[in-house]
């Protein structure tokens, strides 16, 4: 017996949190009975589970690493009609969704899966998975600003955790600097806000690495499946 929202997430319906919302809205039936009770348990091998009148079936879990271009939103659908990352993921039959998010104008490494349990594991801040970003910022960044980024920056939603900050290049002719910033949190537009707070606004932003995963061999706008070894390693992080 497992919680209904966990079964639904494992079947690729949506994230566990979204599945909880579907249950609360009365859109889920078990053996013909509408279930709205939080934490209701079912047996997927014996019970018939329906979402919006359609019986769900357990999907095989799939895992993809996408090199997201700028100009796509990290979402399954968009009411404004903008392109989403799923528009890039052609030919995949399973219902996958992004793990975490990258801003519309941010590029780089993004994971997509139908494994709700692993997605929650990756996204949870207590696991402190490294997220490494390359930011092109306006101005010649100073050591004082880098040290502030390392110690934590006070934003409107509180102090950020300590980060790793390295200046990779300063281009005097263009008036820009390139920095690599490693964070463990996942606040909205966090890297952009951190750089803005120390006086060096971001011009371009790209995620280079998540935990041990990198963009090696994956061109912008392309994706690859994770290996079983990579999936297992993610579970252990």
> Which residues make beta-bridge pairs with 62?
none
User: What is the dihedral sign for C-alpha 8, 49, 23, 80?
Assistant: positive
Cβ neighbours of residue 209 closer than 8 Å, sequence gap 6 or more: 109, 130, 131, 132, 215
DSSP one-letter string for 13-36: SS-HHHHHHHHHTT-EEETTEE--
| Cα–Cα distance for residue pair 154/147, rounded to 1 Å | 13
Rounded Cα distance between 107 and 61, Å, is 25
Distance CA 205, CA 200 (A): 13
Is 205 within 8 Å of 196 (Cβ atoms)? Answer: no
Helix, strand or coil for residue 120? helix
Task: Compute the distance between CA of residue 219 and CA of residue 226 in angstroms, rounded to an integer.
Answer: 15
Residues identified as active-site: 103
How many Å apart are CA 73 and CA 102, to the nearest integer?
8
């Amino acid at each position: 017996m497992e919680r209904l929202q966990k079964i639904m997430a494992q079947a690729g319906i949506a994230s566990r949190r979204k599945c909880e919302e579907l249950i609360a809205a009365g859109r889920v039936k078990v053996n013909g009975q509408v279930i709205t009770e939080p934490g209701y348990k079912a047996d997927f091998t014996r019970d018939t589970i329906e979402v919006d009148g359609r019986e769900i079936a357990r999907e095989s879990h799939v895992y993809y690493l996408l090199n997201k271009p700028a100009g796509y939103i990290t979402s399954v659908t968009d009411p404004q009609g903008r392109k989403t990352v799923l528009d890039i993921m052609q030919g995949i039959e399973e219902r996958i969704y992004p793990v975490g998010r990258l801003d519309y104008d941010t590029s780089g490494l993004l994971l997509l899966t139908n494994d709700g349990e692993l997605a929650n594991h990756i996204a949870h801040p207590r696991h402190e998975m490294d997220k490494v970003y390359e930011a092109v910022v306006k101005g010649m960044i100073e050591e004082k600003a880098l040290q502030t980024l390392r110690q934590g920056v006070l934003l409107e939603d509180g102090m950020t955790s300590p980060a790793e900050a390295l200046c990779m290049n300063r281009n005097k002719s263009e008036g820009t600097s390139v920095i690599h910033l490693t964070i463990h949190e996942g606040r909205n537009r966090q890297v952009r806000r951190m750089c803005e707070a120390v006086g060096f606004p971001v011009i371009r932003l790209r995620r280079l690495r998540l935990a041990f995963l990198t963009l090696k061999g994956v061109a912008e706008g392309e994706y690859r499946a994770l290996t079983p070894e990579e999936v297992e390693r993610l579970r252990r992080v």
